[in-house]
Structure 1
């Protein structure tokens, strides 16, 4: 099929490349001509394993092109995917300005029947609004469908090519079948529903996953107080098929471009129809507080943080991405500086993006290696579970440090690894990992928030 993806952000770029990979003729359209020039020059604007190779392959084979030219991109397409951003407004609602502008652009350039498919995450009722905007500006026939995305940064290519399911929200059976035909090379697990239900499935899915994360983090905080190991607790829970093991990894909370935005948006969607989503409000509150447990543990071990040197490992919100949006590291580094600590930070790929968002130039020492971040540190905090950190020799790291405090915010290290070094080691919900004698001397009130 001939497809156009409007927006070359994370969703639009990965989706467009993957649909070219399975044999479609794909145009990726963006008004940001500088980004288009970078893509045409072989530069990939986001870090996603394997994406650059797929772009090069499909451009060479003539199935993928990048352009800023609107008219031909709309007119040549059978299906037009809307993949523009819906950033949060100050009240948590999704900003639909880009969606509305794209709907107008499509309508004014149509020259015949088109299927307009929304991949952007949008509040319930948005596709009805798109239909209204387009119908006011064109006499050409069209259908609007909702095809929400469920990509995970760091594994987005695999998620696109091997999806758990495809959701198609459509009022037109013919349009639904056309989208199903497009997706059948990827999976037979295709569910067709009405448009509003498809819009809601996206928000509900992310809200449920966020709830699992906050739940296991609350369990971890209790485990620290009662002497249980949250990794064993989560494993035991996960064997129950009704629960499952995914998203039960305790840590310092979720971040990124989706979960924070979508949970807050769903709270607002509920509020707009006079319903208070109490559970989801608590999920958000728990997640925000969880990251500051790192600060609690630092204060416990070091006392006043003013003048202390703190090494930071990991700035991205998760491994295998350079995305730092809503990363816990933003709050933690900001809190450290506010208390007068000296911060030296390292991330394999996300440092430039972190610096651009963080903005406090000159107040952080940006390191080139994890060892540089550990050099002469009073404490070291692991905030992103990059595989690079898991492979490091802790005795070698400890030898570089001024004091021997390691706070593992992602439960990366095993007891065996910790015991190889003489470290005061603090993880999340695992009070017995490391030296048992070490933890016997810690005050019980220390654990938790």
Structure 2
């Protein structure tokens, strides 16, 4: 494998992981960002993103001389063979992806790109973006390639270095093969296609996963009404190789930085193509309803009933991040449920091991504490919203003594109901019968 001179524009979650991992594969990587303070921190090997293994890779890359960080992208690309665009594409007006950052960086670097340099869109972008970027570049000697990322927060480094597949799309076969060769050491199946198809793969995959989760949440509600056990149902489903065992865990709804944004963006794409994507619309609507169902479950478990108000009811919350192992609150279903509870007048006290305690959004609607037992003290119920492993090991007898109401609403089916029952607590899960007093 030939080592390449690579520039990664953007040091957010995707950009930093991409840069550090490519450097670990032997390439020389320069990561650029507009935030000078962030660049200074990264140059010292300080990583503020909570992601297992990422800080170590950054530090190793710097020490080996294969990874460096600079301010600004224009000068960084002067000697690049491949440039990755890893800038934000947030949800814009009406749910469409906002491509302002992609277009701005493209305009900034287009005159500085060396002859034959490959420009790669790594950020999740709508179908047709590569064609738009090629038009903005306006240089036949600079091919544009789509190479979508498939990284899960909390396991991004592992996912990058152990991918299920590499997807590369371009109208230039040579450019696509050059980008695919960057990953040769990983030995993953590689899909070489056109740019539009590569862009569509990311949306199709994420929206399928969202649909799968919404389906399981609906089945869980049906299980509750019929007296079935969702855990046994999904186990039986998961052994079917056509279905698989992943994304079969019910919960308070799906969220995070990708699924909400990508489902909304694909809906926009479908509407622009005059296609009525009713299935995807139902997936999104079902997810919103799931969060409301969790609030109703809390009200019922705390004895106020679905028709009564939670005003003045103190609730302890365990977990706020969108998934365990991260510090990411973006489109967190836990936060969505917390906001609905606050809107009902509940007084919220929350603990999350991934948060520092100074995050602005949570502190506006709740009290953040640095101890799970403080969240429980005097509460009418304890609501588990994020599946942090350490919550399984809590002293539930001690928690039972601190709670005003002896009930735990486990929106992730994360805890052992028998452990809680022995501690004198009632356990309420999703898609399963209540356990305990």
Q: Same fold (TM over 0.5)?
A: yes
Query: What are the equivalent positions in structure 2 for 1:8-407 lying under 5 Å apart?
Result: 8-135=11-138, 138=139, 141-300=141-300, 301-303=302-304, 304-352=309-357, 355-358=359-362, 360=364, 363-407=365-409
Q: 1:292, CA displacement in angstroms?
A: 2.1
Partner of 2:182, secondary structure, is: helix
CA contact (8 A) 2:147 2:167 kept: yes
Deviations 1:119-140 (A, max 9, x none): 11111101000000001xx5x7
Q: How far 1:377 sits from its partner (Å)? A: 1.1
User: Equivalent residue of 1:325, what SS?
Assistant: coil
Give me the whole-angstrom Cα distance separating, in 2, the residues matched to 1:153 and 1:76. Answer: 31
Q: Distance in 1 between matches of 2:99 and 2:363?
A: 27
* 1:224-266 alpha-carbon deviations (Å, 9 max, x no partner): 0001010110010111111111000011111111000000100
Contact 2:45–2:62 (Cα < 8 Å) also in 1: no
Which runs of 4 or more aligned residues in structure 1 lie more than 6 Å from their structure 2 counterparts after TM superposition?
none
Contact 2:81–2:114 (CA<8 Å) still a contact in 1?
no
Distance in structure 1 (CA, Å) of the matches to 2:122 and 2:44: 26
TM-score (norm. length: structure 1): 0.93
What SS does structure 2 have at the residue aligned with 1:177?
Answer: helix
CA RMSD, aligned part only? Answer: 1.5
In structure 2, what is the Cα distance between the partners aligned to 1:148 and 1:339? 40
CA contact (8 A) 1:35 1:45 kept: no
Give the distance between the partners of 1:298 and 1:176, measured in 2 at CA: 51
| Aligned-pair CA distance for 1:352 | 4.3
Aligned length, in residue pairs: 429
Q: Is the 8 A contact 2:29 2:68 kept in 1?
A: yes
Residue-by-residue CA offset, 1:262-305 (whole Å, 9 max, x unaligned): 00100110000101110001111111111222210222233132
SS in 1 for 2:383: strand
- Deviations along 1:143-196, one digit per CA (max 9) or x if unpaired, are 101000000000000000000000010111211221121111112311101110
Q: Structure 1: 5+ residue runs without aligned partners?
A: 439-449
Higher mean C-alpha displacement, 301-310 vs 184-193: 301-310
My pick for the range that moved more, 293-302 or 182-191, is 293-302
Q: In 2, Cα distance between the equivalents of 1:365 and 1:352?
A: 9
Scaled by the length of structure 2, the TM-score of the pair is 0.95
Once the two structures are superposed, residues 76-116 of structure 1 have per-residue CA deviations (whole angstroms, 9 ceiling, x without a partner) of 21100011111111300001111111111120212322101
Structure 2: unaligned runs, 5 residues or longer: none
Using the alignment, how far apart are the partners of 1:183 and 1:431 within structure 2? 48
Distance 2:236 2:27 in 1: 44
Distance across 1 between alignment mates of 2:426 and 2:116: 66
Say whether residues 1:424 and 2:426 are aligned partners. Answer: yes
